[in-house]
Amino acid sequence: MRLATAAALAIAAAWLLATAAAQAPAPEAPEVAEAAPVDLGATLPDSPVKPLVYARCDHCHGLEWIAKSGATEEGWTDRIRRMNRAGAMIPPEEIPVLAAYLAHALPERLRPPPPPKRGVSARKD
């Protein structure tokens, strides 16, 4: 009988230790310094239109989206009109002003050349 009691006490003690260890607070991870946020608007040229870009464009998507883009004035106009059709609410009288500013700040970029053709059709006989 003593052996059964000793075994039961050992099992209970092991269970208590295991549950106490599971409930102990996890050690805190060392703090990692976060990188300072980049102000992408700082890369845009100063102009009376710049606050309008913040107000209209940064409302739906971040300026990082714009910074990756580039277009002619016509291209920016088409893009802004497509955004309005998708739900943006840029007044029509502001579109030419925004498009001209963005075309100056973020002009059309050259596209990379297409990759070389591979396979049977690319071989010269």
Q: Please give the pLDDT value at position 60.
A: 86
Q: Which residue has the tokens 């955004």?
A: 83
Q: Which pTM was predicted? A: 0.59
Q: Please give the pLDDT value at position 27.
A: 61
Token pair for residue 93? 């009288």
CA dihedral 86, 90, 94, 98 (to 10 degrees): -60
One-letter amino acid of 48: P
What's the mean pLDDT when you consider all of the chain?
A: 79
**How far is the C-alpha of 12 from the C-alpha of 6, rounded, in Å?**
10
Percent pLDDT > 70 in the chain is 62
Q: Give SS3 for 90.
A: coil
11-58: per-residue pLDDT in tens?
655 665 566 555 656 566 666 666 655 666 777 899 999 999 989 988
